[in-house]
Each structure stands twice: as C-alpha cells, then as structure tokens.
Amino acid sequence: MRRSVKYLNGVPRSLRRALHETPVARNLSFLVEDIVRGYCAEASSHRESPQVVTERDYKYKEGQFYHGFQCERVEYIPDFELTSHTLRHKESGLELWYIDRNDTNNVFSINFRTPPEDSTGAAHVLEHLALNGSAKYSVRDPFFKMLNRSVATNMNALTAPDQTVYIFSSRNETDFRNIQRIYLDSVFRPNLLYLDFLQEGWRLEHSHVHDRQSEIIIKGIVYNEMIGIFSENSRLFRKGLMSNLLPELAYKYTAGGDPLEIPNLTHSKLVQYHQKYYHPSNGRIFCYGSFDLMETLEVLNEEYLCDYDSIDTSYSYIPLHSRWSFPRNVHLPCRLVNMGVSKEKQSQIGCALLMCDRTAVQEVFELNVLTELLIRGPNSAFYKGLVDPNFSGGFNRHTGYYFTSRDTYFAVGLQDIRIADFDRFHELFQQTIHKTIIEGFDPKHVESVLHNLELNVRHRRADDGNNILFNSMALWNHGGDVFANLRISEMMGRLRARLRDNKNYLQQKVEQYFLANSHKLTLTMSPDESYSENFRKAEKKLIQQKINELSPEKLSKIYQNGLELEAAQKAKENTNVLPCLSLDDVEEPMGHPQLTEQRIESVPTQLCKVPTNDITYLNCLFNITALSHDDAMLVPLFCSVFKNMGTRKHDFREFDKMILSKTANFDFKLKVVEDVKDGKSYKIGLLMTTYALDKNVKDMFALCEELLLDFELDDTDRLKMLIENYISKLSVGIAVSGHTYAMLCSAALVSDAGKLKSHLLGIDHIDFMKRYTQQNSTEEIRDRLKAIGAKVFSKSNMRVAINTSEAFQPTALEHYRTFLKKLPNLKNMNKRSQLKLFKPSFHHYAVNFPVNYCAKSFFAVPYLHEDHPVLRVLAKLISAKYLLPVVREQNGAYGTGARIGYDGLFHFYSYRDPHSTRTLDVFDKTYEWLAAMSDKLDYQMLFEAKLGVLQLLDWPTAPGEVGMDYFILRVSHEEYCKYRSRVLSVTADEVRSVVDKYFKKEPRHVGKCILGPKSERLAFKLQNA
C-alpha cells in the first residue's frame, strides 16, 4: 500500500551507510503506533498552572499575509524546541502546517482526506497513478526515476484507511525544491493515462503477452500488491478487526483494495475520484525544517493554488461511529501457514473496544499511557492475565492502542491458540478487567511507564520531522489540534495532577472504557486448508465474468492492449524533463565524528562526544566466534529470553520495573560480521544496546551488571512459555520481508558465513527451532542456555562504545569503570573463522504464499576493496535501468533490485513477484543487457547511479548512532570519505571493466533461491536442470 524508500528497516541507521537498502513497505499502523509510543515526556514537577506565554518575536505574524496565505496561528513548543505555524491559502482553502526548527533533514508532505467509497482501491490506484507522470513531468513513473536523481532521505507515498499521503525529506535544499515541484505537479496535475491505469491498477491480459492462445489472467501492480499484502494473516486480522468494529463508516472498506473488488474499478471512476478528493480545500500540506518557507508559499500560490476556489469539503468528513448496545462476534477463515505451529494451534483471537474521539488530544494521550500499563511487559495486567497462563503463542500483532481512525480503539489478542481455548480467552479477559478495577495499578509500575515515555521524547532520531507528522497525521486529518498534541509536558503534567488528586483515576478509566463499554468486537480467525484454492476459484470466476461482459471486439482487443502496453513500457522516454542534482550540490561529505579509542580496565572502548540531549548510549559487543556451532545456533533464542527471566536478586517482574524506570530497556542481537578488508574471515558477535538519561547512568551500569552476571533461568514454566512465544513470533511477517529471507537463503548457498546467517536469522532458523524444541526438554534447553551465558559475558572478548555529551563523559566513564571491575575475565573467545565458499546451487522453499520472492547472490569483493564502490554504482544502474523496467513494469513484480553488501555478496532480488524462474532468467541475463548498453553509458546515467549510492552514504545519523560503522565494521571516517569520493569519481571505463571482471562469466560461487508457492513445473525444471 505504501511505496517505500525507507531503507533497511530493522538495521541500525548508522549501518545503512555501509550496508545497502532493503525497500520493504513498512506497515503503516505499526509505524504510527511505534512512533506515538515514543512521544510522551517531561515527567516530574509539572503542575496544572496557567501557561505563562512570554512575548516572542516570531518571524511570521498571526493575521499577516504571505503569498496568498494568511498566518492563522503561531506557537513556540519547548518540548521539541520548534515553532509551529498554521497558514491558510485564502482563495483555495488549503491548510499548511509549518514547523520551523533547526533541523537540516527537511520534510514536505501533501495529504488528502480520502475515505474509500468501496473496496475497489480507488485511493490506492490513484496514489500509484498520480506519481506516474504529470503535466510538467510527463514521464512514466517519475517517482522511481527520481530515486536516482536525488539524495532524499525519504520518498514515500501511502494510502491509509482514510487519507493519502505523499511525503519526502531531504537535507539538500536544491533537492528539496526539485522533489517538491514533482510532488505538487503529481497531485494537482497528474496525467492519469489509461495505459498507466492498466499497468498500475488492473487489466485482463494473456499470461504470455505474445501468445494469443495463452490463458487470460488479471495483471496489475496494485492488484498483485494487495494479493501479496493479504497473504500475511496478521494483515487479514487487522483489516477484519477495523472493518467489523466500524461497519457504518468508510473503514468497512479496504482502502488499498480487495483483490476481488479491484477489477470493478474503471479508469473514468478513478479520474472522478481525483477530481473530488484532490482539491486543495480537501488537502493539507506539512512543511518542516530549516529551509525558507517563502519559496514554498510562492510556488504553491503562483503555480498551483491560483487555479482553485475554496469549496465545502464536508463530503469527506468522517463522523464518530454510533455506539453499539451489544458486543459482537465475527469469525474469519485464513491461510494455513506451513512454516508455523501445528494446524490445530494456528487460530487467533482478539478483542477490540471502541475508545474516544481522535481529536480529544489529552484523552488519547492518557489512554495511550493506560494501554502501556495494560499490555507492555510482564507487569501489565493483560500479560499476567492472558499470556502468563501459557495457552497461546503470546500477544498477536494487533495488540495495542490504535488512533489512526476517527474513533480510536484498543485491541488485545493472542496468536497460535486452539479453538477450544477461545472461551478461556473470554473468561480471562473479563477476569483481568475486574481484577484491575479492584486492585488498581502498582505505583512503581506506573512510574516506570511514565519514565520510559519521558526518555523517549528526549531521544533524538535522525527523522524527527517524519515522526512528528506521523504522530499527528490522523489527528490533523480529522481537524484536531496538532499544536496541543506536541505539548507533551503539559499533557503529562495534567495526567500527573489527576493521578495525585484521585487515587482511582486509572481504575475509573478502565471501568469506563473496558467494563461499561458495549462497543466491543471479538474477532476469531482459523486456518482453512482450502483458503488459497477458494481464492483461486473466486479469481477464475471473476475473470470469466469479466470476459463474458466484453463484446467480441473488446475481447479481441485484449491481445492488442497487451502489446500496446508492452510497447509503451519499452519506449524510450525523455527523462530530461526531470530535475537532477549536479556534482556541485553533493560534493561535501559529512563531518568528522569526535571519536577516541582507549583501553579501560583492558577493554577496548570507543568514546564519542556528541550532543545527546542528556542521554548516554551504551553498546557492548561480545565476540562469541569461539562458541561451538551447536551453542551458536541457540544464541538468537538466548538473546530473546534471558533478559526476561529476572535475576538471582530480583524476579522478572521486579527486574522489568527496575529496567524501565531507569533505562530504555536492553536489546540483545546476534551479529555475523565479515571482514570488510579481505573478505576471507568473519566473526560472530552478541551486541547489547541500551541508553539512559545521564542522571540514571549509574543505575544503568548497575542493571547491566546484575543482568549479565546474575541472570537466572531456573523458572522452567516461564522459560517454556518464552520459548513457545519466540517460535510463534518467528513465523509472523515472513511475507512482509520475503525478499530479505530470499536473499538470506541465496547467500546461504554461497558461503559458510551466509549459511550461518540463514541458520541464525532466516527461514532455516524457524525449521531448526521447531525441530530443536520438539527434540529437547525445557530443562535440557535451560542447561544449554545457562552454559552459553556462562561463557560469553567476559571482559576478555568485549568491546564497548559509549556516546555521550562532552560535559558528561567523565562521569559516565567513572560509572563504566566500576561496572568493568565487576565483570570476569573468562577464557578468551576472540577469534575469527575462515570463510569457505561453495559450489553453485539452487533452492526452492515451498511456502503457501500466492506470490514469489526470488534472489540470486554471488561473491564479488568486500567493502574496502577498490572495486566495491564501482560495483555499488553498477548495482544501482542495474536496478534502475534494467530490473525495474523489466521485472516491475513489464512483469508485474511489486519490487526488485540489485545490491552489494559490505560482506562482498552481490544480490539480485524480486519482491511479491508473480513469476519465479522467469525472474531468475532475467537475473541471469544481466551480462547481455550490460554488454548491449556498454556504449550508451553516459555521464548522466552514471551520475544518477552515484546519487543513488550517495543517498545511503550520507544518511543522517542520530546522536546515539554516531561512530557505529567504525565500532561494528571497523570502517573509519577516513575510509568512509575515501569510499565516498571514489563513488563520485567512478568512470564509465571502470564500470565496463568490473562488468567484464564479475559478470561476463557465470560466477564460481553463486546461489539462487525462490521463496514461493509449490510448483510442479518448477520441480520438473529442477529435476531436469
């Protein structure tokens, strides 16, 4: 639903510079929820007193006009050190929210309220089509073409259940103006061509375009995208919950489009939809950062808004839902997950309750805090009530407080549960509510939640501007007060005052919203083995019906249309109409971080002085390469469970409260890091990450010490539950990140390090864990985990990075020394393993998704080899000029690309792909394409590819992440600068030479993988290969 250039989700930002991108569409409501949790603040000492407004000298004055816009409101918001403005364009009625802040990562977004009128996905297809050519920029897919003509830090478009958003951010002002013009032209003057509608939306076409006899099927990017999205059960569940909880409003429809409804959308309906909803009066523009506002206002006023008169937009207004007098139940079938737990245990159940109006800002804030208390961590009421009894795989993905719709709602659910246990869920749900109302909340627990919210507001991110918008986007869309939503200290102050004045304040909220609330939906979902078959049958029937509706002339035109579309896709276009940066715009690399290294208590320690807003960041990396293979295989499980088991001094509930009231929690991750210089060896590391307010750093280290030295695994009932929940979580989300899994699989066929990664992080890990836990008792697993823990946390194999402010560094180091003195010196495990490369091979993972994820990987050269920057530029070139036009535009995959990792593996991948072996053939024919275009390689093509690389190299870094490339990969700032200037100086001859060197002959170490549905044809092909 979302076109995403948000690179590398799940990989620390800093590493994005060295690694490569993974364009996975991130799921909107999770994103919004995650961000919102990070949004509360400024705990202590706030009294509910009248706000004293000091006279400020604002740049823009209320009541004044600027290029047709009247400034309606200006306020300074101390929590974020920003000035917030509302302006309105008088003639067209467009509202503009401008945030003036000393942040170079500027954000611009155009939002329209687009409540769906049915499930044909009009808003979604329009989102695709708008970015597919406009009056001034009349080329196919300028959105994708701009990716390589810009250094944007984010370019995105997304269709939410009630609005459509076009957003980007950039730190380069020329770039910012370029994309701004394209976005404005796209939404206000899109071409909306019929052929583009067929390509992006849906069409009937022969499965083989050139074969008139081949079967007629439905094709189209959005059509395939939605099939891909709903192949993930968690997405079906979420959709089912929202549409059945709000059945009288637009939310009952699927804004992205229901695959069986999309073919009811016509081109003319789409054009009408645009006229109706993309009027400035129905739009909102967000502008954030340090760039001059006047230029934006001038462009808007003179080039776009002057064409419009303000209109009444009450047609797009979404009212509150009427309240039910009785709870309701709904049951849905879903796909059986063949990688998941046994079929009997694959059901889900969830309960949703309608809460308050999204525009009630303080109430939403308080319900957010209440939700944290009810569902987050082992001290929360629903965790104790529903998860602890251990009859499921833990909370499902749709558990939390949701405020993207007009009426907000709370949902809690369990995954991997038996149908026989549905009643038990109901009983326990009710019991939990009653118990909470009677017993109330532990003040220490409340304090830990409030502290964590405060810490999260202090924590600076590199994309603060995007976060501010996402946090307020739904509120703004429904006409709420977005300024109030930023005043977090004030909301926190009011909540604290209420808690002080009324000891039962939170219980009363539980009573009001959970007990006395009959607008309650219980949704259950169970796998149906014929689910996929039923969909295929319904699709067949639909195709037949569509064919029957056609006149003989139109029917015979299907063949012709297919050829026409293909010709249009292959036609050469004049991309010169698109703006592009020049070398002068991007010459300067990022500044030098203030890093020093010293041995403290014999531990190599990297110190970074950086303004952190009173926070200290700690990263400890333990080299565990010397662990046996069997031990290493259990490290991911160890990382997941051991911090949640408590210590010898405190049980897990007590310890969790202590952690959350002093730190931002502890995170443990496994890292397999290849040598970036010679690519001949690798290490395995266990990385611990945490941060705390400076005033809590002493406690943070004391907690580290307790956790690492005194962890306790003896409570086998709890351990058993955590292990089962861990396995349940593994099989969720595979379809969403399918290309990442596919690349892990293909890399596993190239080297032993790749194989290890796949066994520790990929599909193979799921299989391994399922088998391992079936064959071993909890007691046996406990003993193995204990043994691992006893070997790894040692000074002898540890390296540390601390990021803190210059002023606080001496104090932080004092506490750090005390901590190190307590850590033991065990057997030194510092070592590296020699990398082994394998012979070429292929693997097909049969999964029951209706789409494929294809990957091919081969070993080239590691990061610091002189050819690496050239290959990286080449990968961008292959992605933009070869794979996108063929695999996406012509063959209908949602995403595709080529990349080279710091480890030296060169990958090709496709995402939500209707084809399998055909895509692998495209990958294999890369050299033929490269050879054919060799002479046509010009400066502009090369420069665009370089910009694509630069986007990642110059990615903004948050204070807590500065220096992490050096810490993890040992890539210094000097090496980064050298690499960067090498990227900028790559010549066409150099590209030709690496093409000959690495692509001409089939590589010696290559792996191919398809993750997709079972296929007899494929099995046959493999047998005969």
Residues classed as catalytic: 127
Q: Minimum Å distance from CB 25 to Zn ion? A: 7
Tokens of 487: 């005043």
Q: List alpha helices for 417-481, DSSP H.
A: 422-439, 443-458, 464-477
Pick between residue 225 and residue 764 the one whose CB is nearest to Zn ion.
Answer: 225
- How many Cβ atoms sit within 10 Å of the Cβ of residue 777? 11
Q: Note whether 672 and 753 are within 8 A (CB).
A: yes
Q: Minimum Å distance from CB 20 to Zn ion? A: 23
Helix (H) or strand (E) segment spanning residue 199: helix 194-200
Tokens of 297: 């206002």
Q: Minimum Å distance from CB 228 to Zn ion? A: 10
Q: Minimum Å distance from CB 256 to Zn ion? A: 7
Q: Minimum Å distance from CB 127 to Zn ion? A: 6
Q: Which stretch binds Zn ion (CB under 5 A): 224-232, 235-243, 328-336, 393-401?
A: 224-232
Pick between residue 259 and residue 394 the one whose CB is nearest to Zn ion.
Answer: 259
Percentages of the chain per state (helix, strand, coil), in multiples of 5: 50, 20, 35
Q: List alpha helices for 250-292, DSSP H.
A: 267-277
Q: Minimum Å distance from CB 236 to Zn ion? A: 17
Q: Which amino acid is at 652?
A: F
Q: Which stretch binds Zn ion (CB under 5 A): 219-227, 531-539, 731-739, 937-945?
A: 219-227
Q: Which of residues 531-550 bind Zn ion (CB under 5 A)?
A: none
Q: Minimum Å distance from CB 991 to Zn ion? A: 32
- How many Cβ atoms sit within 10 Å of the Cβ of residue 926? 18
Q: Minimum Å distance from CB 465 to Zn ion? A: 23
d(CA 533, CA 667): 42
Pick between residue 125 and residue 367 the one whose CB is nearest to Zn ion.
Answer: 125
SS3 741: helix
Report the candidate in 260, 301, 249 with the shortest Cα–Cα distance to residue 115. 249
Place of tokens 């990398």: 835
Q: Minimum Å distance from CB 226 to Zn ion? A: 8
Q: Which stretch binds Zn ion (CB under 5 A): 217-225, 357-365, 377-385, 641-649?
A: 217-225
Q: Which of residues 225-244 bind Zn ion (CB under 5 A)?
A: 225
Q: Note whether 279 and 188 are within 8 A (CB).
A: no
Q: Note whether 189 and 135 are within 8 A (CB).
A: yes
Q: Note whether 46 and 454 are within 8 A (CB).
A: no
Q: Which amino acid is at 712?
A: E
Q: How far apart are the first and last CA of the chain?
A: 37
- How many Cβ atoms sit within 10 Å of the Cβ of residue 7? 19
d(CA 125, CA 272): 13
Tokens of 449: 């939640």
Q: Give every CB contact of residue 139 below 8 A, 6+ residues apart in sequence.
A: 133, 145, 573, 574, 575, 577, 578
Q: Note whether 960 and 691 are within 8 A (CB).
A: yes
For residue 835, the number of C-alpha atoms closer than 13 Å in the C-beta half-sphere is 28
Give 171-174 contacts, CB < 8 A, sequence gap 24+. 171/104, 171/105, 171/106, 171/954, 171/956, 172/581, 172/585, 172/586, 173/106, 173/291, 174/581, 174/585
Q: Which stretch binds Zn ion (CB under 5 A): 221-229, 740-748, 852-860, 880-888?
A: 221-229
Q: Minimum Å distance from CB 262 to Zn ion? A: 11
Pick between residue 103 and residue 225 the one whose CB is nearest to Zn ion.
Answer: 225
Report the candidate in 894, 897, 639, 623 with the shortest Cα–Cα distance to residue 761. 639
Cβ-based burial of 390 (10 A; exposed 0-12, middle 13-18, buried ≥19): middle
Sign of the torsion formed by the C-alpha atoms of 738, 739, 742 and 744: negative
Number of residues that bind Zn ion (CB under 5 A): 1
Tokens of 42: 């400024």
Distances (CA, A) of 422 to 333, 384, 720, 726, 893: 15, 17, 21, 21, 39
Place of tokens 């945030």: 99
Pick between residue 156 and residue 751 the one whose CB is nearest to Zn ion.
Answer: 156
Cβ-based burial of 44 (10 A; exposed 0-12, middle 13-18, buried ≥19): exposed
- How many Cβ atoms sit within 10 Å of the Cβ of residue 521? 23
x/- site string to Zn ion, residues 172 to 211, per CB under 5 A? Answer: ----------------------------------------
Q: Which stretch binds Zn ion (CB under 5 A): 218-226, 238-246, 943-951, 959-967?
A: 218-226
Pick between residue 205 and residue 225 the one whose CB is nearest to Zn ion.
Answer: 225
Pick between residue 256 and residue 646 the one whose CB is nearest to Zn ion.
Answer: 256
Tokens of 367: 């319900």
Q: Minimum Å distance from CB 915 to Zn ion? A: 19
Q: Minimum Å distance from CB 273 to Zn ion? A: 15
Q: Which of residues 55-74 bind Zn ion (CB under 5 A)?
A: none
Report the candidate in 305, 317, 316 with the shortest Cα–Cα distance to residue 93. 305
Report the candidate in 235, 21, 258 with the shortest Cα–Cα distance to residue 735. 235
Report the candidate in 610, 434, 577, 446 with the shortest Cα–Cα distance to residue 516. 434
For the chain, give the longest Cα–Cα distance.
Answer: 85
Tokens of 567: 């010709």
DSSP 299-344: HIIIIIGGG------GGG---PPPPPSS-EEEEEEE---TTSS-GG
Q: Which of residues 744-773 bind Zn ion (CB under 5 A)?
A: none
Q: Give every CB contact of residue 219 below 8 A, 6+ residues apart in sequence.
A: 202, 203, 205, 892, 914
Pick between residue 25 and residue 747 the one whose CB is nearest to Zn ion.
Answer: 25
Q: Minimum Å distance from CB 11 to Zn ion? A: 23
d(CA 164, CA 115): 9
Pick between residue 2 and residue 181 the one whose CB is nearest to Zn ion.
Answer: 2
Pick between residue 222 and residue 633 the one whose CB is nearest to Zn ion.
Answer: 222
Pick between residue 225 and residue 656 the one whose CB is nearest to Zn ion.
Answer: 225
- Residues forming contacts to Zn ion in the complex (CB under 5 A) are 225
